[in-house]
Structure 1
Amino acid sequence: MVKLSSAEIAVLVNEVRPMVNEAFVKNVYIVGHKSVVLKLFKPGVGTFELLLAAGSAFFCTDKNLPKPEKPSDQTARLRKLITGLKIAEMMQKGFERIIEIKFHKDNLSLLTELMPPGNLVLLKDEVVIWALESFEKGSRPVRKGFEYKLPAQRFSVKPGALPEDFFKLLNPSSPIIASLSRDLGLGGKYAEEVLLRAGVDKQANTSSLADEQKRKIADALSDVLKELELPRPVVYFRDDEAVPSAVMLKSLANFRHMTTNTFSEAVMTAYLHEMACEQKAEAYKQLNEKIRALEKMRGDRLYVVQALEAKKKDLETLIDKVLSVSRLFEDFWTEPEQKSTLLQKHVGCKTILNQDLLHLEMGEAKFTFRKGESVHRALGRLYNEVKTLRNTIAKLQQEIIQIEEEIRKTAFEKEAISVTVNVRKPEARKPKKPFREFRTSGGFAVMIGRDANSNIQLLKKHLSKDDLVLHADIPGSPATVLKNGARASAEDIQEAAQITACYSRAWREKFSNASVYCVQPSQVSFTPPSGQFLPKGSFMVYGRKTYVTAELRLAAVSLEKEGASIVPLLTARRLNLAYVELRPGKTGAGEAAKTILDLLKIPVSQEDLKSLEAQIPYGVCSVFYQDKLIKS
């Protein structure tokens, strides 16, 4: 587990504080048993995440960290308390291994205890109102309603500041590495680095150090503390352990390492590496348990097969023996005592005579001969038993083969296992265009408003004298501009009219067609007649209107640059494009988008799904493919 010293926490707080201060809490997640992820937003910066790992570390990143799909009750309670709050300040609490995030509201603060065992608590006026882990034992009870008490303070050196006569702070009876690590709060890796640079045996007793050795230790410690003021972050990889450091360490120089731009990035890299190693170890454990269970199953079956083989062998031997003396059974019941003795002598098995029954026993095999039946009929029962045993053994052997194959596959899976913790940068969202756009089959650009505001923006800023303006003859219609429409053909105007009708309220009302009028730019005015009021987002049309009747039918197509797009059905047909038809209906946009991408054989991605969903009028439609209804 990644551990940070007080000095490292000071470095990290100084690095992270400028980003975190004045950021808003967008969401909260509890990850595992001991970590909380705050999704933050800061104007001018954007969205980023802050991970607080109790008893371990913290870091800030612009990547999306792994999170549970379903929030726990603990998560829900913390979300309710801090979501939407603005962070006033992040600080280190009294140079302890505790960081405090203060909020602007209600004197709230979130504390993360980074020393073992670690905890996260939310305070209001220094009283606990939420705790990741609650307990009442000892001198520091942590529970809702209790006043929060800091742990007993311990001395820790600060970056850049070498305390005077610090040797007086060290336990003289301890090894020098333990004294530097514990008594100065330096931490093991920096204590080892100081002693390596000083050339002093780390196991030397503190009280036995010569003055020259003390001077060298003081010089090396001073250098390390100065370097902590100007960090050069690096991560060292030692077996499955990842060690973040704010300075380059000679003590770990022989291990694989990587430098990072920030100490926060170094801590994150180490934290996620160790998380991956823990997941790998857990995966190994589960596979080993599976192999042990399979080997037990195989062992159990082998034991049963061995027992059944022995019984089958005894039966077969007994059958052979009985057949070899079958003449003795022909008139057995005339002299049963005498012939029973002869059978015991010739067959070599135990015989039991009981009135009208004769029992022969050889190992696990038993033969019963009844008075009045032939020896062959009696043997028939043994043959059936042998047959059953053979079938059972064959079935068990097949199961053993399958189990052994499963063991081999599991062992191979264990050898090949490689676990990484997936983090990804949030995808830069494409800015939403203020208008819908497409090109007609004749190559003319068409711009369609999305709402009342964009309708006015379109007509005021993007309308030229050679364009045409289209509008459905129904309230709740987009304004559509057919660029260079004065030169467009009747087919191009029909296509522009069709998409205008489809994005009008006629779609929501499930009309099959709608009237669309077409006018010149000079006929559009934003000034109402004298004495009348023009509602916001409205415009006036004066003069003669040319009407077109448009069917409410769209086509989802795959375009090379735009991907999955929705265009008028007339356009798709005239360009001979493969398409899925959309008409007014009741299927939700999400379900329809998945169906469309599947029918168009386009690999389903979240980006394509969201893009296609946004293009479906009013978020509902029916889906047709090759004139057959797929979704109503």
Structure 2
Amino acid sequence: MDAKRELTSVDLAALVAELNRYEGAKVDKAYLYDDDLLRFRMRDFDRGRVELMIEVGEVKRAHVADPDHVADAPGRPPNFAMMLRNRLSGADFAGVEQYEFDRILEFTFERDDENTRIVAELFGQGNVAVLDEAGEVVQSLETVRLKSRTVAPGSQYGFPESRLHPLEMSYDAFVRRMEESDTDVVRTLATQLNFGGLYGEELCSRANVEKTLDITEADEEVYEALYDAIGRLGDRLREGDVEPRVYLEDDHVVDVTPFPLEEREGLAQEAYDSFNTAVDEYFNRLQREPEEETSTGTERPDFEAEIAKQERIIEQQEGAIEGFEEQAEAERERAEALYANYDLVDDIISTVRDAREAGEGWDDIEATLEEGAERGIPAAEAVVDIDSKEGTVTVDLDGTRVPVDAAMGVEKNADELYKEAKRVEEKKEGAQAAIENTREELEAVKQRREAWEADDDEDEADDDEEPEDVDWLSRSSVPIKQPEHWYEDFRWFHTSDDFLVVGGRNADENEALVKKYMESNDRFFHTQAHGGPVTILKATGPSEKARDVDFPDSSLREAAQFAVAYSSVWKDGRFAGDAYMVDPDQVSKTPESGEYIEKGGFVIRGDRTYFRDVSASVTVGIQCEPETRVVGGPPAAIEPKAATTLRLEPGKYAQNDAAKLCYRRFKEQFADESFVRKVASPDRIQEFLPPGGSDIVDE
């Protein structure tokens, strides 16, 4: 059976009570991994370190993780993570709620200056929205614009349409909903009552009801047995009475549930004390288990899935545009209705205003208008609602209901409605521009698919011919091939002799490189200047057998140049510096007696090999084969391998500004601009730029 990859509504109901035990934990930092996994590192007075994980991609989960199950922090945090850090640093975790019986969790964080809600949508495409105290979206991983709801920065967050809550319905309501179905019992429980397939079957088993029994054949006894089974399930969830299980098939995890299930009796199972622990263990093991097929990065991309995704986005955007059109038209109709009934509306406004100036309360005004309606006064009859809080009176004008601000005249009220119609029209224009961008993305995917298929045909036809150089810059579509590598967590490049060089960005990464990744046959490089990264020239990869390597001089010089360029030499605006090389056994964390070593620092003992007056020059480029990605490092290593490059030296542009300049230059060079946006965004380019100011060298 396929392994479970998404938590169910029942799972989330069981998790909420356990997650609320961490109420009061204080947020230290937030991280975002791969655009769909959020990590909140918190501190709890009793429990110590708390790692809250929320994932909304192919896997959908939310739980507190064992720190040993948490991956190292990713590289430079993206804007979404920085926004979370600004809003949540030092905030208290105030609790979590499940929205109705849906796969939606609302996490609340409180801070003296502002409170924040994080809504995790663990269904469909998945999403995370960050809301302010007024429920307005600050930022979201995905933008949603539908007729029924909107999730976009600046808008009020819109929940999906309310669903039936099967654990809170009366017996009569339960029977009515069941009898409205035209299918069998188990499918009705799964879809109409929102239990999903597994728990629909489980309820049938617990009630001793035949799953395939047609609804037309169900009687009072069947309904009572099912309703009783639902009640027992609800009671256990409310009371936190769980007996968590992780289920296995052929030694592979396939499911995790808050209770033992009759539907899983044939599987091996493991019991846990808490459901959160079981969920954490399940997804940790699911992540570590090998896939049936290991990707080499050269397989055909799933163009159909990407095309379907873009088409779904277009459908959403078209729905939003249609909604904006309807809303703008409705606002104009309301304004025109005011002018068409000018005297009537003016009479209503004058009556309400005079009463308010005379000191009458809204309740008295409402009573007066109701009395006037009974006497057949047209102005009073037109009033259908009064909102004392907003100070508005809703009037019915020939079937069009219009809220009128009693503090303003007819013209001013109509003018406000016309302004609102114009504002909505502007939103529609923005949505139209967005849909054009999406259509371009869709067309680019289709072109990449055609190019890939054409490449396949050419490969088959030309197997015996010498490969020709490809003009990647002029191609209308560049296929994307981006396998993941362990060293992408650090600075890195491959030398001109194809040896891997990795360097740390900070003290934590320096420590990790030496402790986890440096082998006896590697070479350790560092600058003479203080504040340089640990740089390691790798002889072999982490999973390869150790072997003695005679590194070419070119690779040694390039590793030394890498160490110099990404050090304080560049930050100080100097164009050259000195570096040295030692063997791994000369590197130690043990200081001399009476001395202290800072985190990320090391003691070097024995002779050193020096590289003098090494140029602090760096090249960044875009590589198109055999992988598509940004690359950066010493010019001699990068320029022969990239389709296009830019050389940089210490200069006046801040790191992020220099990255944007490079991005614009690259976009100008490639015919396929969408390819540049996908593989070489300013954020990705910045990862390869040295700290400090830079200038692009025009050669």
TM-score (norm 1): 0.47
TM-score (norm 2): 0.43
